Amino acid sequence: MQTAKPIELNGKPAAGGKFPLICTPLTGRTRDQILAEVKVVLGKKPDILEWRVDFFDGIANATEVINVATAIKQAAGNMPLLFTRRSIREGGEKIALTEDEVISLYKAVCESRQVDLVDFEMSNHPAHIALVREASKANDIKLILSFHNFSSTPGSKTLKQRFLQADQLGADIAKVAVMSRNLDDVLTLLSATLAASRTLRIPLISISMGPYGSLTRLFGWAFGSALTFAVGANRSAPGQVPIEDLNTVLAILQKSMNGE
Amino acid sequence: MQTAKPIELNGKPAAGGKFPLICTPLTGRTRDQILAEVKVVLGKKPDILEWRVDFFDGIANATEVINVATAIKQAAGNMPLLFTRRSIREGGEKIALTEDEVISLYKAVCESRQVDLVDFEMSNHPAHIALVREASKANDIKLILSFHNFSSTPGSKTLKQRFLQADQLGADIAKVAVMSRNLDDVLTLLSATLAASRTLRIPLISISMGPYGSLTRLFGWAFGSALTFAVGANRSAPGQVPIEDLNTVLAILQKSMNGE
């Protein structure tokens, strides 16, 4: 019954067209920690892994980063891998790189072709966004342009603009993640998601964070969000639910909404 | 985290303050069918049973109706019983009683004190509503004043007026159940529920019917609905989900929203 756009990889819908995709973050600080996380997480059968490289101690060494990405892909039986440096400004960890060095890292990682998707924030410098877009496109890697607000939920108009902005900046996927302080915020996010899913040319990801927001992690797909983040081994944002719980709720909801 | 009002019976929150309450309909045509349904349903542990007396072949005989109500209460170990004649106009079955006879039946059932709550539609004649209010109050039975629309979801303003109208007519609980034809309708119902839960003095029940509406049966409580209907043995309205599924989803949602 949903008409939202699925995320495509290599020219076809990821995970055989499963909707929504379940993405689990990897937040280890060392190669060993990360590979141990992969092991735990794999047993829970996510559809995509997100490597939050801002947690990684070796981020300053591009070769080491690429080696770890390669090791993750190998350990995960080629499961799609999303590469993300989340900035401090948008809720990420402190890293020892300048913004120019971050761009070089994204470029090197794209050229290695060891990842399937990269996430880059729309609040970055337009020239940097253009460089990441260029490097990802040249290597057949999907680009998620993202917007995060860890303190509040902007109004519906602003949210819709953020989705649209990602599309206009050439993203393959638009992502908006905001903090909900009350249930009105949850409804605002769901309503903006529904509107954006009808107007955007590209798939979108929408998340409301925090306790109230956990509702959207479970039900946001019905309003058009093509992917939801779930806890495999470690939570990377407030309100993420365990992947087992998410799968249980999705199965019941989809059965109910299909009128079974 | 919810501040919505729970349904009270005998001066205290029903089912030990569980929120939301799960109510399962009984839709048998004969005493035997109804008691067989009770048996099936009890194993699934609902909090309230709703006897849809408009399905009952013996509805024209008040003594028989009271006998069956007594038998249900006995079989269900005194579980709270909601007595409902749903009119054809609002989605119910055809019955062999005039409206005056329906009022006499409600009066007799209230006086028998074999039920804990009665549901009566706000679209009934104001004089009839007043009589049912009087008979229920005189016998310490809670009155749900209800509004149903099986074809569409009215606008937010109309929905909020319906909740308010129930309060103004002296209801103990206000119920609004409407058909959702799309996801916008779901958001309209949730938004009106949230607004009404903040302004009404009484608890409320809100339901969106149909496949899209099944979302509200699972997470409408977060927006203020104190009770949700689930299928025990037989569905009585479109989109009702099995009680086992409902319990599973509620447990996961409440854990997530409490930040566990």
Q: What residues of chain A score a pLDDT lower than 70?
A: 1-3, 260
Nearest chain A residue (CA) to B249: A249
Instruction: Spell out the domain ranges in chain B.
Output: 18-257
Give the per-residue pLDDT at A239. Answer: 77
Residues A138-169 have pLDDT tens digits of: 999 999 999 999 999 999 999 999 999 999 99
If you average pLDDT over residues B235-244, what whole number do you get?
A: 81
Is residue A114 within 8 A of residue A62, CB to CB? The reply is: no
Distance from CA of B87 to the nearest CA of A (A): 24
CA distance B260 to B255: 5
CA distance A258 to A255: 5
Give the per-residue pLDDT at A1. Answer: 47
Q: Which residues of A touch B219 (CB under 8 A)?
A: 215, 218-219
Q: How confident is the model at residue B239 (pLDDT cuts 50, 70, 90)?
A: confident
Distance from CA of A232 to the nearest CA of B (A): 14
Is residue A163 within 8 A of residue A196, CB to CB? The reply is: yes
CA distance A158 to A73: 37
Active site residue B175: yes
Is residue B164 within 8 A of residue B199, CB to CB? The reply is: yes
B253 touches A: beta carbon within 8 Å: yes
CA angle B218, B224, B229 (to 5 degrees): 40
B218 touches A: beta carbon within 8 Å: yes
CA distance B232 to B28: 12
For residue B151, the SS3 value is coil
Active site residue A148: yes
Q: Identify which of A76, A17, A20, A14 has the alpha carbon closest to the alpha carbon of residue A45.
A: A76
Give the per-residue pLDDT at A30. Answer: 98
Give the per-residue pLDDT at B1. Answer: 47
Residues B168-220 have pLDDT tens digits of: 999 999 999 999 999 999 999 999 999 999 999 999 999 999 989 989 999 99
Residues A35-63 have pLDDT tens digits of: 999 999 999 899 999 999 999 999 999 99
Residue B113 φ/ψ region, left for φ over 0, alpha for ψ in the -120 to 50 degree band, beta for the rest = left
CA distance A176 to B159: 31
Q: Residue B219 and residue A215: Cβ atoms within 8 Å? A: yes
- Per CATH, which fold does B18-257 belong to? TIM Barrel (3.20.20)
Q: Which residues of A touch B212 (CB under 8 A)?
A: 1, 222, 257
As for the ipTM of the complex, it is 0.90
Longest dimension (CA), chain B: 54
pTM over 0.90, yes/no = yes
In what helix (H) or strand (E) does residue B219 lie, and over which residues does it extend? Answer: helix B210-219
**Cβ-Cβ contacts under 8 Å for A153 (sequence gap 6 or more):** A159, A178, A179, A180, A181, A185, A188, A189, A208
* pLDDT value at B161 more than 60: yes
At which residue do the structure tokens 């880059």 appear? A120
Chain B contact probe: residue of A257, A258, A260 with most B CBs at under 10 A: A257
Count other Cβ atoms within 10 Å, centred on residue A45.
13
